Structure 1
Amino acid sequence: MGAAIGQSLPVALGVMISPLPIVAVVLMLSSARAKVNAFAFLLGWFVAITAVAMVVALAAGSAAPDEEDPAGWTGWLKIVLGLALLVVALRQWRGRPRPGIEAPTPKWMAAVETFTPVKATGLAVLLGGVNPKNLLLTVSGGATIAAAAPDDTSAVVVASIVFAVVACIGVAAPIAIYLATGDRAAVLLDELKAWLIEHNAIVMAVLLLVIGVKLIGDGISVV
């Protein structure tokens, strides 16, 4: 269990500092339903990350041949996922805003302030379980858990929950700031939102590059 948690933590950190979910929470905290929507989003984010990581880990573990050490196939799986992350990282880097050009704001952000709790939860599920960049990171986390805890369902379940908890820290941080400082948090959160939108592509490119290289290295070491 310890190995599954420890080896998946670097990937969980990548999910944790993914900019767009943090921006979504910041926007919700400036809406009329600030607390309700923010906590609904946090819950949806946790459930989506937990579900994807756990399903991937359990499916990968059950797909391993009984007569073969699973390290070999999980090594190839990590290499494939690592290469996919590098491709996405390259696309993010090439699509980054050029100096002097304002980063485009995703269209869904304009409607966040009018969201209901149900819509906030749905957005969290979409960003955590459907958005390609976050989905690829979470799938990588699930594959890492499966490789570290083959044939150990309880370890997979616990490691997946820990993975999701760590991945939620970034989304939970603006909520903690809001609850701790109240109205004084508005300026800080607004500056955080602007910075994350402007540097989203660069942050994601670096994250995906680092995690992709790590996965490829881990995969090569066991193939």
Structure 2
Amino acid sequence: MWTAIGETLPLAAGLALSPVAVITGIVLLLGRSGRAKTAVFGLGWLLAVLAIAAAALWLVEAAADDAAEQTADGVDLVQLLFAALFLILAVLAWRKRAQQDEPARKNGLVRRLDTIGVGGAFGLGLAQGFLVIKNLPLALGAGARLGEAALTGADAVVGLVVFAVVSTAGVLVPLAVALVGGPRLDPSLARARDWLEANMSPITICVLGILGGYFLGQGLGILD
């Protein structure tokens, strides 16, 4: 079980390092009712990721019962497609990096997030969890990996929960820092938010490139 869970952790890290989610969480955290909004935003993100991974695990398990070898080849092929997707996205992000209007985007983001309530923050977490373009292949890849390991029952639940919690670390860690440190750490969180906003493009490009390489390495098993 733990070997399979360990294989999902790079994918969970890719989700946790989503600049959009981290920045959204910190902006919510620094606003009105910030801790409550950030907590439910993280819960929405976690549930979305968990649902996608669970669906992939169930599909792979069901397919493996009928044709284990074909299922393994199919998973490898899908991982190669994910590798191509992430590498293409990295190239596109590189080409678009100079076209972004960072100050305008930041001010608009802060204004919009400051007006939403706790329920809106939960909905935003769900929406980002399902709709951020890299989340679907990462969560599907993790669920498929757990399904290939034939995890069932409590083992499958543990694997899915560990993956989902680690995937949400980008939101949960700033929240934990704020809860432990209190308002005195708000300036540090604000500086972290500003740094992430200023470096969103290079962070995104690096994460996409690493994920592309990861999926390429995993998918090459189809050649065995």
The alignment's TM-score, normalised by the length of structure 1, stands at: 0.89
How far does the alpha carbon of each residue in 1:104-140 deviate from its partner, in whole angstroms, 9 at most, with x for none? 5264442111221110001111111112123332223
2:46 is aligned to 46
1:134 is aligned to 135
Deviates more, 1:68-77 or 1:32-41: 68-77
Provide the aligned length of Structure 1 versus Structure 2. 221
- Structure 2: gaps of 5 or more residues: none
Report SS of the residue matched to 1:132: coil
Contact 2:49 2:135 (C-alpha < 8 Å) held by counterparts = no
Contact 1:30 1:113 (C-alpha < 8 Å) held by counterparts = no
Aligned counterparts of 1:190 and 1:22: Cα–Cα separation in 2: 12
* Pair 1:221-2:210 in alignment: no
* Pair 1:114-2:115 in alignment: yes
Contact 2:30 2:190 (C-alpha < 8 Å) held by counterparts = no
1:186 is aligned to 186
Deviates more, 1:180-189 or 1:63-72: 63-72
1:208 is aligned to 208
Deviates more, 1:23-32 or 1:104-113: 104-113
> CA 1:48/1:109 → structure 2, altered by over 3 Å: closer, same or farther?
farther
> CA 1:79/1:183 → structure 2, altered by over 3 Å: closer, same or farther?
same
Residues 46-65 of structure 1 correspond to what in structure 2 (within 5 A)?
Answer: 46-64=46-64
- Structure 1: gaps of 5 or more residues: none
2:156 is aligned to 156
The alignment's TM-score, normalised by the length of structure 2, stands at: 0.88
Query: What amino acid does structure 1 have at the position aligned with 2:80?
Result: I
Aligned-residue Cα RMSD (Å) equals 2.2
Query: What amino acid does structure 2 have at the position aligned with 1:72?
Result: D
Report SS of the residue matched to 2:32: coil
Displacement of 1:161: 1.1
1:173 is aligned to 173
Query: What amino acid does structure 2 have at the position aligned with 1:191?
Result: R
How far does the alpha carbon of each residue in 1:67-101 deviate from its partner, in whole angstroms, 9 at most, with x for none? 442322221121111111111122122221379x7
Residues 62-81 of structure 1 correspond to what in structure 2 (within 5 A)?
Answer: 62-64=62-64, 66-69=66-69, 70-81=71-82
Aligned counterparts of 2:68 and 2:186: Cα–Cα separation in 1: 56
Percent identity, aligned pairs only?
A: 28
